[in-house]
Chain A
Amino acid sequence: MPDVVAEAENVWMEYKDIIALRDVSLQVGEGKIKVLFGPSGSGKSTLLRCLAMLTKPTRGKVFLRGEELTSPEADIDKARAKIGFVFQNILLFHHLRALGNVTLGLRRVLGLPKQEAREKAMKALREVRMERWVDHYPAELSGGQQQRVGIARALAMEPEIILFDEPTSSLDPELKGEVLDAMKDLAKKGRTMLIATHEMHFAREAADEMIFQDEGRIIERGTPKHFFTNPSTDRARRFLARLVREGQSNV
């Protein structure tokens, strides 16, 4: 399958007294948007981190464009440069301005000359509508603005896939919208994305497939329509009902 961008094959992640992932397999095809959801502690973050090889799975294989990243010979740094990662707690580089956050990887990883890195970074920052804030330090930006820079930082590297680890869950409700809008824009442009999120409106609107994970296992997968009309497992149904209830009480 040449159009598979990222793949996990029978991945396990076992810690001393907890199993975070149990035999998880997943493929994300070119241009696809997949949403990963499930209760906290269900292993969504761990799965994303394994796909980016930020942690090495204890068993199973991870591929990027058919290249096995879990193999000892794999050049992990090189692979990570092709995988965008947007963090739950944003993790911008505190000591660099918005522009510097985006150019750092372009300069130091891809080795682009200063001017070219700057142009690419500006393009990415425009895509998330942050071009007017390029000279601000992260601490001078709102959470939503910071996360948009976080997205631009990943985007500018022109990655094969962007992994989003609950990108809005650390934000105040009124700041989530601007980040979700930026993500929707990327979705429309055909970016390949795997997104762990509880934002069901976003999932309904943007996802090609939704994947429900619980206790380290993938329990159920299907289209948004499938999940929102007739999920087949009890656990998914209960979880969705709870999300909807909480979503309503938040509004």
Chain B
Amino acid sequence: MNALEQLIFLLEGVQITLSVSVFAFLLGIATGIPMMLLRAFGGKLWELIVEGYEKVLRGVPIVILMLLFYFGIGVRVPFLRDPFVSAALALGIRSGAYQSQIFKGAMRGVGEDQMTAARALGMSKLKAFRHVVLPQMFIIASAGLGSEYALIVKDSAYAFFLGGGLLDVITRADILRAYALTEHWEYPYFAYIPTALIYIALTFPLATYLDRWGSRRKKKLGI
């Protein structure tokens, strides 16, 4: 393969890296918000349970979660025996534990008064949350969510440890390395540099955009 072919081969992994990451990010939102709500409104017991769960997830290296899902639980649960599923699920539930914190801070930022004003109109708690609190939470949380997304994209590279079944960017870089070193093992190998640049391109612009969009929006709305 010439350099261009190699680059194309790497770029073909972008789709997979992004799919894993976006899926994990959405799963993080879908688990993070309910956990935050359970913690805030579920009473003392739920608070303790959720807090413990979050501490464990935030304390364990992500690669261990992936390996556990794929090689551990996956042996008995065929659904997890797919490296895409194992990687995305591990990244997603771990992200939920972080996003729960992000949303907790955001809800505090929205403040209870907004809830009161919505309830005064006759909205149920759920409606008030959905139509008044949540939209403002996303604005306040946007910068935090941006860096959380960037973290997921980078950590998705650990899927590399799942044995090469997932042809994401990092796994493809490793395939190129293996291919190059069998033929020219004595030469220094630099394809990790474009690989790194690809990861930067996948994270930096969106995270920066969300950060700026969030600050502009906050300023405009006075929140």
Contact = CB atoms under 8 A, between A and B. Distances in A.
Interface of A: 52, 54, 77-83, 85, 87, 89, 91-95, 104-105, 108-109, 137-140, 153, 157
9 contacts: A54-B120, A78-B122, A81-B122, A85-B120, A91-B116, A93-B132, A108-B123, A139-B221, A153-B121
Contact of A77 (B113, B114, B123, B139): B123
Given A80-B121, A95-B139, A138-B222, 18 more contacts: A79-B122, A80-B120, A81-B121, A83-B120, A85-B120, A87-B116, A91-B117, A93-B114, A94-B136, A95-B135, A95-B221, A104-B121, A104-B131, A108-B123, A139-B220, A139-B221, A139-B222, A140-B220
Given A108-B131, A137-B221, A77 B120 contact: no
A105 B221 contact: no
A81 B118 CA distance: 10
Interface residues of B, number: 21
B127 interface: yes
B122 A91 contact: no
A78 B117 CA distance: 15
Nearest to A55: B116
B223 A105 contact: no
Interface of B: 113-114, 116-124, 127, 131-132, 135-136, 139, 220-223
A94 B139 CA distance: 11
Contacts of A157: 121-122
Contacts of B220: 137, 139-140
A95 B136 contact: yes
A97 B25 CA distance: 30
B117 A94 contact: no
Contact of A80 (B122, B132, B221): B122
Nearest to A139: B222
B123 A52 contact: no
